[in-house]
Structure formats: C-alpha cells, structure tokens
Amino acid sequence: MTVIQENPASAAGAAPAASVADTEAEVLGLYRAHLSKGRATLAELFGSHMEVASEGAWLTTSDGERFLNAGGYGVFIMGARHPIVMEEVERQLRTHPTATRILLEPTVARAAEALVSVMPQGLDRVHFGLSGAEAVETGLKLARAGGFKRTISMRGGYHGKTLGALSATAKEVYQKPFRPLIPDFHHLPFGDADALAAELAAHPGETCVILEPVQGEGGVIIPPKGYLKRVEELVREHDGFLILDEIQSGFGRLGEWWGADFEDVRPDVLLAGKALGGGVLPVSAAIATRKAFRPFDKDPYVHTATFSGQPVLMAAVQGAVRAMKEDRLVTRATDLGAALLPRIAEIAYRNIPELVVDVRGQGLLIGVELVEAGLAGELLIELFNHGVVANHSMNGSSVVRFTPPAVLSDTDVEFLLNSFDLATRDLVSGAATMPEGGN
C-alpha cells in the first residue's frame, strides 16, 4: 500500500523492511493464536500495518508511515497525547496511580467536580467506570433501582454489548447468540415521538427511555429538530426516567459540550465516555440528578467496581476537561465541522454520484452513506491507501464515519479532503472495473 503522507523521521529511524515485515507477521500470528482470527483477517485487509506511535491528529506505523486519524470511534476529540492530559497523568503516575478505595482520595473528587462543571444544570452526581458499556449498565441499574422496570430504546441505537447494554442495542446479529437477554426491553423507531408517546401512555410511571442525541454507530442518524425535547416532555408527562447516551456524541463532538445542550434537555442520567479519558486512558461516567442517584447514595456498595475512579484515570479526566476549556475545542469542533461537512459532500456528489446516498453530520461526527455495505468497506480501504483512518458504523454498515479531532490544523484539513477526493476517485474506478455481480 502507498500512502501519500510521509513521516519525515522515517528515513532516519525506521527499522529495516524485512525486520518490520517479520514483526508484523509475528503479531498477526499472535492475534490468530490468542485474540481473534476475525480481527486478524480484518487487519490483513489494511495491509497488516501496526500502529506504534501517535501524536495530535496523526498516528505512525512500525514501518514509519503516518496516517491522519479521523477514526477512533470518537475517542480523540483532543487528538492523541494532548500535553495537558499527559501532564496530569504523568504527575499522578509518579505519586499515587491506584487507590485502596477505603480512604478519601482527592483526585476522584476533583475529577467529579471538573466534569460537573461542564454538565447540564442539575446533573451533579457521578459514578465513574472504564467502558461506555459500564456507564450504560450504571444508568440502567439506576432506573431499575428507582422502580422503572420497562426500558425503551431506539432501533439503530448502539449502547454496548454487555448483557444489559446489549438488551438496549437493537441489533439482531449482536443479540441472537446471547438470548435470552434482560426482559422488558422494547425498541421503537428513532425520531418517532408519536410511537414513544403511545408506549409511555400505556405504562405510566414504569418506563425508562434510553437514546442517543445522534446515532453514531447507527450511521450518523440525526433526529428531526425538536425530537429530543419532545422525548423529555413525554417522559416527564408520563412519570418516566430518561437516560441520554452521550458516550460518542458528548464532550464536544457535536460542537456543544453535550447533544443535550442543543435543545436544553435535562435527562435523569447522562452517559459519558470515549473522549472523557482525553484519548489517553479509558474512562466513562454516568452523571445523574440527585433524585436519580438516590439508590447509590443510600448504599455505597450496591454498585461498585474495583477500578472505578482510580487516581490515574481521574487525572486524565481533569486533564481532558482542562484541555477542552483552555484550547476552546468545543468551539473548534463547531467551526471545523461547518467547514468539513459541505466540502466532503461536494467531493462525494461530484466523484461518486451514483454510489452515494447521503452525506450528513453534526460537528465532528460526519457520515457518508453509500448504496451498499461492501462499497463502504472499499472506501475505508481506499481512504487508508491515501493516508486516512476512518470508521465503519456497526449498526449502519453502509456508512463510512469520520470522527476527526478538534485539533486539526488547516494543513490537516486539506490533507483529509484531498485524501477523500483521491479515495472516492479510486472507488469509482474500482467499481467501474468490477465484474458484474461482484463485491
């Protein structure tokens, strides 16, 4: 594979080609032996490259090639190894990385304070976790402990793959091997407030609603304007419980701190993750109102995790909030998204008009929908061939998703757009030479 962006340092410090190839083969073998044969096969589609370093918007492979990271499933809103985050984490590593969880520990308290400072008003109680799915489980357990035994989630939504989160993730291929799942989960069309109203009216005081402001894994599905606010109004009207899953859409990704901010929505629980660890460490959180959090206040051992709130993770949270504020990255996400979306759309409709269905996005969450899933996979490979890492969408397999960091320079933006232009040209060239009926 050829990549048009070269690493200036690669000539001086790169390992010999044979050595790199041998190491890649060894690692690929270890994936097959100990991790996932399917994951190894996927890696081969991208040339078996190994990522070994990252900084800002760029990652470097073992053979010295550099790629612009517009993927990462939403983790890198502030890029990789942001200096403020690294400073906080390195300081904590040198002093007290892991706590006993018996004594008071100041880092978790200060991380909670920092996070609450950027939350919608009224969300001021925090439970930290590691993964997004953990945050989802926390939210669902708060709902159940509060007496809300029925749960409604939206078709196309993605909330994770642990058992409770999977029950909310309405995707047959993920659910089927693990049934029976948690009972009393029901799935409705995303964006259909009338369908939700009917369900809530039929079960007043019993229902938890969990949804995303924008369905990222669903293929960057943006609901009708006013839908989120109407969901909140319906939940309050029928004495329900509202969980807003902002694990991917939150922390500046959409051009506001939270998707809730666009329509002044106040859920009972808001879920955060991915970017919350500053692109350095895995951290998630469920942030709740005092009323919703009451079951955890009553018994501090009813829902616990050994690594919840550990000091080194909390240092990353403090650094992430600082970096977002000091570098004004929420505003930067708005400006970059406004510049990127129309230019990506113009390139797509110019180069592949018969292959593209839609180009849509909000902030730095941008999706390009193609006429079939196979073409989305091919476009991802063509983008990689031209030096850009993007993502597929788990619940919207025909959508290529861009989640670039808000630290892109003007040069980075032009590189991304030029690579997309070249990738789409190559895609249509490949489609033209494809045998009839081929994929």
Smallest CA-to-CA distance from 49 within 61, 38, 37 is with 61
Cα-based distances in Å from 240 to 143, 268, 350, 390:
9, 10, 47, 38
pLDDT of residue 48: 83
Look at residue 205 in the predicted model and tell me its pLDDT.
98
Q: How far apart are CA 342 and CA 356, in angstroms?
A: 14
Asked if residue 180 has a cis previous peptide bond (ω within 30° of 0), the answer is: yes
Residue type, 340: L
Write down the pLDDT at residue 432: 55
Q: From the CB of residue 328, how many other CB atoms can be counted at a distance below 10 Å?
A: 12
Distance CA 196, CA 232 (A): 11
Per-residue pLDDT in tens (0 to 9) along the chain, 439 residues = 333 344 333 333 444 555 777 788 899 999 999 998 888 888 888 888 899 999 999 999 999 999 999 999 999 999 999 999 999 999 999 999 999 999 999 999 999 999 999 999 999 999 999 999 999 999 999 999 999 999 999 999 999 999 999 999 999 999 999 999 999 999 999 999 999 999 999 999 999 999 999 999 999 999 999 999 999 999 999 999 999 999 999 999 999 999 999 999 999 999 999 999 999 999 999 999 999 999 999 998 999 999 999 999 999 999 999 999 999 999 999 999 999 999 999 999 999 999 999 999 999 999 999 999 999 999 999 999 999 999 999 999 999 999 999 999 999 999 999 999 999 999 988 765 554 444 3
Which pLDDT score is estimated for 292? Answer: 98
Whether residue 216 contacts residue 251, with contact meaning beta carbons closer than 8 Å, is answered with: no
Query: Using CA of residue 229, residue 230, residue 233, residue 234, what is the dihedral sign?
Result: negative
pTM (predicted TM-score): 0.93
Nearest-angstrom CA–CA distance, 321 and 317: 6
Entry field: residues in the chain: 439
Q: Are 364 and 337 in contact (CB under 8 A)?
A: yes
Query: Distance between CA atoms of 154 and 366, rounded to whole angstroms?
Result: 20
